[in-house]
Structure 1
């Protein structure tokens, strides 16, 4: 009689648990289907939230909903501790798998949106989004697998130590590849250069065309495409001409020693007037610098208020032509390397000078 009553009570609790589980499962599935059937809102902010929730719900497996429903329904059964613990482990594993699906979808969703936003404005960051997504998904699943094994009673510390040794071996074997990948992330985050910049690295110079995960493409001045490893670029001394606000021009001019003092004094002022007459120039200084072996040397410094190299060369050419015209007008002679020989003539008791 007692066993029959016990069986009846268990059957009642089992029926109650199954009924509760079915109700919970039905409610959750109804909420999911109703939300997925709704039209997206027109407001952009609400639209992003809607897309996120809709995506997570679409990746919610029905088996996960069923297991969660059965778990809450089983709470009325008063299951034995070993059975309850084992069932709890199963629920936890299903939860980890579902978290993995959610996380994988969210990282992919973030990468898709970020790529659309960056591909028009920053191709370097756009190219690295895929790498960040893959790294994030890998780290997520490794963490979930370790958590699942720990839940099943495995010695995670031993496993992690083994993975650490294996990871070191893999890292040593692929050191160059990993170095280029991390160099790519450094370029993207630190931004020493971006696509379109004119850079100089050692004896290589050109315009950055593409920043990839392992290499950077640079088109040289001669026209060929150079493929440079990212790690090599970061280890070298880089000069980025794109970010300059103005270009500096240094001009050295030598005049002959026969130039009069009055004309020597006038040269800096005359050259300053020539430079200041040019557009987009900023005069800095002009000085009689030194006595050279063959000339009286002047040093002139001015700036072009633009980074355009063609404009810089055009201005430099115009300044040089105007200086040549000025010297021709003022009868100022440019110096060039010469040697003066004095030949003695004893019978005439004088010296004859020759310029060589």
Structure 2
């Protein structure tokens, strides 16, 4: 019986060889299971004492990707004991490389996605930015899979230098053909990571102003004060000077009023006090200064500065409107001729 097992060959290997190969696989599998239990127990005890959530993801990734990979490696090393033909050995080697690459890429993608998500939730946390993060995650996934496939082809003895050269030439051609699109695309990355503004912010770009409604891969949409939608290419936004009023804790408002030359001197002297009293009696408005600034062709100019707490544009316009009404009422009650010039500089 022993002679039969050790001498009888099937496909170039004796039954003893097959039994030893199976034994190697069983021993390795059992070893992996024992080590898995010990490591998991210690890691879970460590996780319970830490506040970092990413370690949970790492443990989950190890269970889903690394442990199955180790089982396959155990099967592969068991087979290496056998005397396999060159073609069969090459097939098993290629299968090992493909499976190892697949599990490593999947593990890398999961960890990368979580790192992006964790970082962005800590930094921003708003729903719109999280939706934009999904687009970034898709791009990262494509990049990781692309690099992984190049690594896989290189280990399978493909000449990837020719592939990279072809991709480089094709990339240059695409870059020239789609220069504007790529410029907007990279502008999206700049906006996403640098965050000069976000959805809901009131911004001014050149002579256009409005509330940011959507930040897309190519364009950003803004709803203007008048109600129409303005579409900006992302490349223009990243190259323009942007005034973002959302982050402003206090708005400085400067405006001028002109009165006619027929206004008596005494009333001119009273005007700074009148305006100061008006502003100080309006909620959320803080008086700055009021001065007789200059002489114009048809009027004498007073310059007024005050401050508004908060950044809401509608609130600012409501307060300015109340100030204008009160100034009109006071001028009418005191017989000061109507202002012939009113300029507002917010």
**TM-score of Structure 1 vs Structure 2, range by shorter chain:** 0.7 to 0.9
Shift of 1:250: 2.8
Question: Given the alignment of the two structures, is residue 241 of structure 1 paired with residue 245 of structure 2, yes or no?
Answer: yes
| Larger Rg computed on CA atoms | 1
How far apart are the structure 1 equivalents of 2:266 and 2:279? 21
Shift of 1:189: 0.9
How far apart are the structure 2 equivalents of 1:101 and 1:315? 57
SS at match of 1:247: strand
Q: Which residue of 2 aligns with 1:303?
A: 307
Q: 1:233 to 1:225 in 2, by over 3 A?
A: same
Q: Which residue of 2 aligns with 1:188?
A: 192
Q: Root-mean-square deviation (CA), in Å?
A: 4.3
SS at match of 1:21: helix
How far apart are the structure 2 equivalents of 1:335 and 1:15? 105
Shift of 1:122: 2.0
Q: Which residue of 1 aligns with 2:106?
A: 101
Q: Which residue of 2 aligns with 1:354?
A: none
Q: Which residue of 2 aligns with 1:268?
A: 272
Check conservation: 1:115, 1:129, Cα contact below 8 A. no
Shift of 1:196: 0.9
Where do residues 9-158 of structure 1 align in structure 2 (5 Å cutoff)?
Answer: 11=14, 12=16, 15-25=19-29, 28=32, 49-50=55-56, 52-59=58-65, 64-65=69-70, 67-73=72-78, 91-107=96-112, 121-158=125-162
Structure 2 residue runs of 5 or longer lacking an equivalent are 342-346
Q: 1:58 to 1:309 in 2, by over 3 A?
A: closer
SS at match of 2:248: coil
How far apart are the structure 2 equivalents of 1:144 and 1:16? 35
How far apart are the structure 1 equivalents of 2:53 and 2:284? 49
Q: 1:24 to 1:284 in 2, by over 3 A?
A: same
Between 9-18 and 134-143, the greater mean CA deviation after superposition: 9-18
Q: Over residues 94-114 of structure 1, what are the superposed CA-to-partner deviations in whole Å (9 max), with x where a residue is unaligned?
A: 311222233344456667x65
**Equivalent of residue 320 in structure 1, options 324, 330, 345:** 324
Check conservation: 1:56, 1:105, Cα contact below 8 A. no
How far apart are the structure 1 equivalents of 2:289 and 2:196? 32
Shift of 1:230: 2.4
Q: 1:30 to 1:267 in 2, by over 3 A?
A: same
Q: Over residues 150-199 of structure 1, what are the superposed CA-to-partner deviations in whole Å (9 max), with x where a residue is unaligned?
A: 22333333332222112222333333333333222211111111111122
Structure 1 residue runs of 5 or longer lacking an equivalent are 338-356
How far apart are the structure 2 equivalents of 1:290 and 1:51? 68
Q: Which residue of 1 aligns with 2:344?
A: none
Check conservation: 1:61, 1:98, Cα contact below 8 A. no
Q: Which residue of 1 aligns with 2:234?
A: 230
SS at match of 1:294: coil
SS at match of 1:216: strand
SS at match of 1:332: coil
Q: Over residues 304-337 of structure 1, what are the superposed CA-to-partner deviations in whole Å (9 max), with x where a residue is unaligned?
A: 2233333333332333343334434444334659
Q: Which residue of 2 aligns with 1:343?
A: none
**Equivalent of residue 204 in structure 2, options 192, 200, 206:** 200
Q: 1:203 to 1:174 in 2, by over 3 A?
A: same
How far apart are the structure 2 equivalents of 1:336 and 1:19? 101
Q: Over residues 126-152 of structure 1, what are the superposed CA-to-partner deviations in whole Å (9 max), with x where a residue is unaligned?
A: 123222222222222222222223223
Normalised by the length of structure 1, the TM-score is: 0.72
Shift of 1:47: 7.8
Q: 1:301 to 1:173 in 2, by over 3 A?
A: same
Between 7-16 and 225-234, the greater mean CA deviation after superposition: 7-16
Aligned residues: 328
Q: Over residues 334-355 of structure 1, what are the superposed CA-to-partner deviations in whole Å (9 max), with x where a residue is unaligned?
A: 4659xxxxxxxxxxxxxxxxxx
